[in-house]
């Protein structure tokens, strides 16, 4: 294996010849052998750094072209485009478990972009600090990259996945109108409900989640860039912060603005806590929906069995013919992970000391994992489960008419206490509500038939 010599302010370091990173990245590799090759800095952050460094070069060229020449700007932008496209991912090896400011990942980006830009230019044109980090500090670039990555993850991946599942539930609502089944509260029999109404609850929950997600990312549109080391903007030219936000918006096609108070932007991570709260809310609703589906599909003979779901793979290594609700299980496991991540995000955000938060890598690692896993789990659940949900009309009808809570329809005619006596007798003697009501003398058989209409109890027309 061949090596080349790189240097930084601490001296010389050997780096593999084929690698684009430099001395500071190499030192981090050697000093932080924690989760190597597994818990590396998310590719979303790498991509965000590509966007950020390109925007900074463009802004610097516009404000001080004598320093950021057209030649330098072009080389940086071309290298950044390769970072954004993912072509250079192998040159970003650093783990999450590094400095809490993300300084080493910022320098990883600077070194890769400088070395790649020099290769593009065919000469030693760019310096990692002087050019690629011009007007910047790790303390404002890393939080800015966090916001760029977080916004893209929620807006481009999670929200579209949720909206596609909403569309599936809208279709299922329409297809299942008029089917009335037993409702359930406390896992016990309750009054009737239309299956379309039950589905509408799932759909409306997700629609509200989309609203919350959109509200949650409003603050994430603010960028810390321009605050440099401690929020004062030292070494950043006047107007650089606003211009960079404009350039980031142009590159991404998303609306970003500069944070008005950089002291807040560097040390507080409340916007990400708030946004992750909306992700957790979505996970909570997906937990509920997935559990409903697997309960309703339980069986096939000794469970509720009111719906069928796609049979995707064998469910047991010992029980032939067994099929399990595996997509539901995957969703619920992901929901648990997101809920756990929310604790990590909150605790990390609380660790701002004086002018900087130094838990940023672990915060964004958990945030992006939540958005990524939940997006993928929802999409998998939609394709492999929800799209194939079918109502078992016969079982729904049988369960409905076997439910003792239909007695609620008698309350206006015989009163709550007499209705309770009717239900208890029917259960004790294993007879129908009609037989129990007539035997107790509360209604005649004809009167019972006139008022007892289970399908009407769902109030479908309301």
186 is catalytic: yes
Distances from the Cα of 273 to the Cα of 99, 219, 346, angstroms: 21, 10, 6
Distances from the Cα of 335 to the Cα of 159, 187, 312, angstroms: 16, 21, 21
Which one is catalytic: 316, 317, 350, 370?
Answer: 316
Residue 76 CB-half CA count within 13 A: 32
DSSP string, 56-80: HHHHHHHH-TTTS-HHHHHHHHHHH
316 is catalytic: yes
Distance CA 296, CA 183 (A): 11
DSSP 42: P
Whats the size of the chain, residue-wise? 462
Angle, helix 326-349 to helix 270-296, in steps of 10 degrees:
160
Q: Strand, coil or helix: what is 184? A: strand
Tracing tokens 């079918």 back to the chain, one arrives at 390
Distance CA 281, CA 275 (A): 10
Q: Are strands 352-353 and 188-194 parallel, antiparallel or unpaired?
A: unpaired
Q: For the CA atoms of the chain, what is the radius of gyration?
A: 30
Distance CA 208, CA 189 (A): 28
Which one is catalytic: 186, 249, 350, 397?
Answer: 186
Angle value at C-alpha 157, between 336 and 255, nearest 5 degrees: 120
Q: Is the peptide bond before 320 cis (omega within 30 degrees of 0)?
A: no
Q: If we measure between CA atoms, which residue out of 129, 18, 113, 22 comes closest to residue 75?
A: 113
Q: If we measure between CA atoms, which residue out of 362, 381, 372 comes closest to residue 338?
A: 372
**Residue 417 neighbours by CB under 8 Å, 6+ apart:** none
Catalytically annotated residues: 186, 316
């Amino acid at each position: 294996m061949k090596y080349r010599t790189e240097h930084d302010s601490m001296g010389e370091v050997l780096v593999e010849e084929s690698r684009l990173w430099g001395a500071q990245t190499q030192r981090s590799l050697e000093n932080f052998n924690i989760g190597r090759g597994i818990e590396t800095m998310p590719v979303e952050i790498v991509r965000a750094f590509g966007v950020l460094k390109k925007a900074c070069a463009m802004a610097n060229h516009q404000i001080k072209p004598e320093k950021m020449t057209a030649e330098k700007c072009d080389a940086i932008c071309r290298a950044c485009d390769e970072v954004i496209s993912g072509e250079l991912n192998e040159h970003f090896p650093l783990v999450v478990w590094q400095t809490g400011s993300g300084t080493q990942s910022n320098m990883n980006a600077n070194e890769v972009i400088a070395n790649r830009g020099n290769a593009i230019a065919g000469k030693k044109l760019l310096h990692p600090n002087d050019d690629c980090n011009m007007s910047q500090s790790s303390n404002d670039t890393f939080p800015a990259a966090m916001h760029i990555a977080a916004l893209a993850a929620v807006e481009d991946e999670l929200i579209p996945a949720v909206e596609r599942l909403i569309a599936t539930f809208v279709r299922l609502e329409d297809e299942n109108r008029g089917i009335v089944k037993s409702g359930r509260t406390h896992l016990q029999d309750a009054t009737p409900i239309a299956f379309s109404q039950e589905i509408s609850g799932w759909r409306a929950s997700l629609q509200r989640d989309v609203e919350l997600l959109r509200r949650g990312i409003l603050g994430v549109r603010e960028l810390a860039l321009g605050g440099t080391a401690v929020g004062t903007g030292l070494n950043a030219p006047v107007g650089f912060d606003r211009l960079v936000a404009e350039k980031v918006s142009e590159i991404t096609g998303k609306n970003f603005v500069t944070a008005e108070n950089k002291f807040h932007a560097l040390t507080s991570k409340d916007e990400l806590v708030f946004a992750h709260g909306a992700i957790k809310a979505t996970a909570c609703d997906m937990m509920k929906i997935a559990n409903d589906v697997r309960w309703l599909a339980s069986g096939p003979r000794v469970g509720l069995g009111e719906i069928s779901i796609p049979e995707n793979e064998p469910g047991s290594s010992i029980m032939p013919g067994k099929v399990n609700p595996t997509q539901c299980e995957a969703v619920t496991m992901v929901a648990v992970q997101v809920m756990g991540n929310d604790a990590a995000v909150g605790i990390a955000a609380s660790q701002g000391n004086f002018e900087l938060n130094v838990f940023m890598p672990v915060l964004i690692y958990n945030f992006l994992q939540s958005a990524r896993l939940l997006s993928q789990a929802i999409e998998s659940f939609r394709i492999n489960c929800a799209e194939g949900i079918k109502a078992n009309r016969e079982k729904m009808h049988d369960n409905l008419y076997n439910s003792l809570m239909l007695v609620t329809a008698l309350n206006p005619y015989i009163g709550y206490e007499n209705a309770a006596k009717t239900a208890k007798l029917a259960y004790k003697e294993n007879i129908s509500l009609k037989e129990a009501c007539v035997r107790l003398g509360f209604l005649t058989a004809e009167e019972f038939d006139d008022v007892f209409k289970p399908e009407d109890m769902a109030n479908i027309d309301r």
